[in-house]
Amino acid sequence: SQKIEQNSEALNIQEGKTATLTCNYTNYSPAYLQWYRQDPGRGPVFLLLIRENEKEKRKERLKVTFDTTLKQSLFHITASQPADSATYLCALDGSSNTGKLIFGQGTTLQVKP
């Protein structure tokens, strides 16, 4: 069956450290993968998109990798800050070129000062 898996356990790290979140998928062949941030009581906010032919993408303190062989994406936040505390969702295109995204359940990140 098709699955997208993110660690359901919250990730707790100290301010200034690098946070690494994992997204694994099964039985999909996505052309791209996206990452979103969601704060409590708010809608998700788009952060980054990475295509299947891209190994790595960066935006300020954010870095995303995409390994289509391992069927995995890693999301890194360097020099993390308490303001980075939120739930992070990965999403991929479930069927080619329809624009429909399939979302993982999200991982909650807590950055402690």
Task: State the binding string over 41-80 for another protein (x if CB under 8 A, else -).
Answer: xxxxxxx-x-x-----------------------------
Phi and psi at residue 21, to the nearest 5°: -115, 145
| Shortest separation between residue 70's beta carbon and another protein, angstroms | 21
Size of the site for another protein (CB under 8 A): 27
- Residue 95 is given by DSSP the state S
Q: How many CA atoms does the CB half-sphere of 38 hold within 13 Å? A: 18
| Shortest separation between residue 85's beta carbon and another protein, angstroms | 19
- Residues with Cβ within 8 Å of residue 83, at least 6 apart in sequence: 111
Cα distance between residue 17 and residue 1, in whole Å: 36
| Shortest separation between residue 26's beta carbon and another protein, angstroms | 15
88 is a site residue for another protein (CB under 8 A): no
